[in-house]
Amino acid sequence: MSKPAIRTTCPYCGVGCGLRVHASGARSLELAGDTAHPANRGLLCSKGTALGETVGLDNRLLYPEIGGERASWDMALDRVAERFSDIVARHGPDAVAFYVSGQLLTEDYYVANKLMKGFIGSGNIDTNSRLCMSSTVAGHKRAFGADAVPGNYEDWELADLVVLVGSNTAWCHPVLYRRLLAAREKRGTRIVVIDPRRTATCDEADLHLALKPGSDVRLFNALLVHLAANDHADEEFVGAATEGLDATLAAACADGSALEAVARDCGLDAADLETFFSWFAGTERTLTVFSQGVNQSSQGVDKVNAIINCHLLTGRIGRPGMGPFSVTGQPNAMGGREVGGLANQLAAHMEFTAEHRDIVARFWRARRMAPHGGLTAVDMFRAVGEGRIKAIWIAATNPAVSLPDASRVREALARCEFIVVSDCIAGTDTGRYAHVALPAAAWGEKDGTVTNSERRISRQRAFLPPPGEARPDWWMFTQVAQRMGFADAFPYTAPAQIFREHAALSAFENHGSRIFDIGGLANIPDSDYDALKPVQWPVTPARREGTARLFTDRWFTTEDGRARFVAVHAGRPANLPTERFPLALNTGRLRDQWHTMTRTGLAPTLARHSPEPAVDLHPDDIAANGLADDGFARVVTRFGQGTFRVRATQNQRAGTAFLPIHWSDTGAADAVTGRLVNPVIDPISKQPEFKHTPARVEPVVMAWRGFALSRTAPVPPAGCYWAAVALKGGYLYEIAGETGVEPPSPSSLFGEPAATGEILEMHDARRGNRRFARIDDERLTHCLMIAAQGRLPPRAWLAGLLAADRLGPAERQMLLAGAPSEG
Ligand code: SF4
């Protein structure tokens, strides 16, 4: 590397890995894990390693648009400000909303939140982090009085027992998983996985408890009773630092704690359950990690507290190698929590109490302070559909794909009076509804901070110029605020200015009453902000080096300083399968994809892992429903349906199905998992239940199958099954059609050939087979293979030719065979 590398952070998961990046030429990157970053110490996972493949300009939104036509920034910003001001004037502040994202940087989030809650005067700003960890936020607040992860990543290496609950850590937080496995090599850490699915994380587990979906509270309540009954309570800690044990134990006992009964209710082997209880009871350094399997539930908050209760009882919190540990899905879910990105919070971890409203209002010199919390994600889009919200600004997220009951979300957007979408990507499923589209600067083009799952604030730094007229999100919100008449309160010209204000607010009239305090960074000059090293909050003037662990002094941020046990009841899981919908549908991430694939979908290296949207089913369910492995199925719920490839796996419990969350209408014909998901929410956190929707599967019989390879994105075939992935040098489309659906012709997919082009074709109309290749300038440019009978050629050889600069004579000769000659 010639120039010094830029230190930044990965934009994907909540691990928050540090990177060293060197950009050159036409957006080409050399990157490596930052060995000096405490989160990853140089490690990277497949997604982080492939970041260089995702910074091209192919699908970028480069210019502002009004009504789909290019417009100047002035025109677009004026239009946004006018329409929002007009709707607020006519219908009041609650008639507008912002729906933002854990992809935003803290500075972006801060400005958007300040504008909505302090100047427009509504609480209607919520974030897609609502879908990710709001149950944990609520659980933390109930137990600790504040939304705070007590420990840090080092605790993963210092623990003797790590319990991973509802977390496919190996795929979703891979670098942490690698740190855990490396530590295990040294100290023999035991790993227990509690998850209905047998995921990749189970491969290294000492024990996998494949509990029935929704039985987590039953399990942890029984563990609590077991610990109390067998003298594993830390009496001294419980007496000095907690409240509420008796009522909590009584609630836990009410469900019955006989081992056999608990095992039966959880669908587990009693001996396995006993082993887990005895390991937990006997291991002082126990870390319980939890993620979306816990959070994304209509009982998510209770699940979080059921876990925390066990740690409070044993006093295993605030010390090395132990504690409850929530891992966030998004890179800056934590940063959003810090600035009030959730509709029910104010900025700097403050609440909608009279005292906190007053503090924030005075600090901001707010013109119109929101009187109460706003609508949360699912309710927000319901209000859009009902016309109560008339204008919405959606920033850096794709709710038409990612929200539950996504078809209703689309209907709501289609009816909405005024929609602004700010995104770095053009033509997302949500962007198609935009009245005004604002081009956002992407990762690598903007400056700011993010906070990872261990409370560590890191810098994201720009190393590429924003293309076209793309601008940072904080700039857009600032410009609109100025045009709405709030210029004096939104004077920002650089992210450092915003960060200092955010830090100052965290310390304002705090006096130790709020644990989120980064007042030690409130006065840093621009140069220190530029050079800011990763640091864990709180960062106060007295503790500028940050804080590795919280609650080390057993003082919690409740009124009396004591942590709270929270009585939770196992109850009966909601949304049980029915005769019509006999399967429990679970959803989640794949190892190599991210959210709606707008970025990872561009990386050929990542496409290889799971190139098509597939439903995972147990072989018994495949047989019982007349499906075939590698065939196709329609997955149907009360809310919607989609068509997916069938994948048989023993990893799936019989009676359950799993769908990935990633595919949108830009990547596949009919595979938006969000359309199928029940919009039921946790009553406290308002987090939707993505993990459990009653569903059924129906066979889809394809009359023909095929694939297309192309150097340019083909026009997706109408009426067919199709799923697209990026390849080196182009795209691969898997296609198939039911009886009565004609296969696409080459010209409908690829357009008319260039005059210089050469076509090779074999068409057997009687058998319904077709093989087609187009060569231009000695290069393979397009290829279509269709088979109604017989087999299709493998994709790999042809895909390799697509990336080649020139075809050799032997390759040319074998193109329609689809495989190299063997001599
Ligand atoms: Fe990025 Fe997460 Fe992978 Fe780290 S573990 S490189 S933050 S995706």
Ordered mean pLDDT values, 10 residues apiece, the chain (823 residues): 83 95 88 97 94 89 97 98 98 98 94 98 95 94 96 98 96 96 97 95 96 93 97 97 97 91 96 98 98 91 98 98 92 87 95 97 98 97 98 96 96 98 95 98 96 96 96 98 98 98 98 95 97 97 96 95 96 79 90 76 77 94 96 96 96 93 89 94 93 94 94 88 90 93 91 81 89 92 92 90 88 88 70
Torsions phi, psi of 672, nearest 5? -85, 100
Q: Is the CB of 43 under 6 A from ligand 1?
A: no
Torsion of CA 175, 180, 184, 186, to 10 degrees: 70
- DSSP-assigned states of every residue in 771-788: EEEEEETTEEEEEEEEES
Using an 8 Å Cβ cutoff, are 446 and 462 in contact? Answer: yes
Using an 8 Å Cβ cutoff, are 468 and 63 in contact? Answer: yes
CA of 692 to the centre of ligand 1 (A): 27
CA of 622 to the centre of ligand 1 (A): 34
The pLDDT of residue 1: 44
CA of 35 to the centre of ligand 1 (A): 14
Ligand 1, from 34, 47, 132, 593: best to mutate by most atoms within 8 Å of Cβ? 47
Q: Is the CB of 295 under 6 A from ligand 1?
A: no
CA of 174 to the centre of ligand 1 (A): 7
- CB neighbours of residue 605 within 10 Å: 16
Q: How many residues does the chain have?
A: 823
| Encoded tokens for 313 | 């009882």
The protein residue whose alpha carbon is closest to atom 2 in ligand 1 is 13
Using an 8 Å Cβ cutoff, are 133 and 127 in contact? Answer: no
**Residue 127: beta bridge partners?**
100
CA of 169 to the centre of ligand 1 (A): 11
The pLDDT of residue 593: 79
Ligand 1, from 19, 51, 173: best to mutate by most atoms within 8 Å of Cβ? 173
Number of the ligand 1 atom closest to the C-alpha atom of 15: 7
The pLDDT of residue 579: 92
Torsion of CA 186, 190, 191, 194, to 10 degrees: -170
Q: Is the CB of 44 under 6 A from ligand 1?
A: yes
CA of 217 to the centre of ligand 1 (A): 30
SS3 471: strand
What is the residue whose two structure tokens read 């018994």?
Answer: 620
Torsion of CA 2, 7, 12, 14, to 10 degrees: 150
Ligand 1, from 8, 17, 332: best to mutate by most atoms within 8 Å of Cβ? 17
Using an 8 Å Cβ cutoff, are 735 and 705 in contact? Answer: yes
CA of 172 to the centre of ligand 1 (A): 8
CA of 292 to the centre of ligand 1 (A): 17
**Residue 409: beta bridge partners?**
none
End-to-end C-alpha distance for the chain, whole angstroms? 43
CA separation (Å) from 347 to 250, 372, 501? 37, 13, 11
Amino acid type, 491 = P
The pLDDT of residue 823: 59
Using an 8 Å Cβ cutoff, are 733 and 761 in contact? Answer: no
- DSSP-assigned states of every residue in 614-663: EEEE-HHHHHHTT--TTSEEEEEESS-EEEEEEEE-TTSPTTEEEEES--
Number of the ligand 1 atom closest to the C-alpha atom of 33: 6
The pLDDT of residue 331: 81
The protein residue whose alpha carbon is closest to atom 4 in ligand 1 is 17
Number of the ligand 1 atom closest to the C-alpha atom of 19: 6
What is the residue whose two structure tokens read 């509270």?
Answer: 217
Q: Is the CB of 294 under 6 A from ligand 1?
A: no
What is the residue whose two structure tokens read 């503090």?
Answer: 359
What is the residue whose two structure tokens read 């004077």?
Answer: 491
Q: Is the CB of 16 under 6 A from ligand 1?
A: yes
Closest residue by Cα to residue 657 from 623, 628, 693: 693
DSSP 8-state class, residue 594: -
The protein residue whose alpha carbon is closest to atom 3 in ligand 1 is 45
- CB neighbours of residue 51 within 10 Å: 22
Torsions phi, psi of 796, nearest 5? -60, -45
Ligand 1, from 45, 54, 132: best to mutate by most atoms within 8 Å of Cβ? 45
CA separation (Å) from 278 to 235, 307, 350? 19, 16, 40
CA of 45 to the centre of ligand 1 (A): 6
Amino acid type, 792 = L
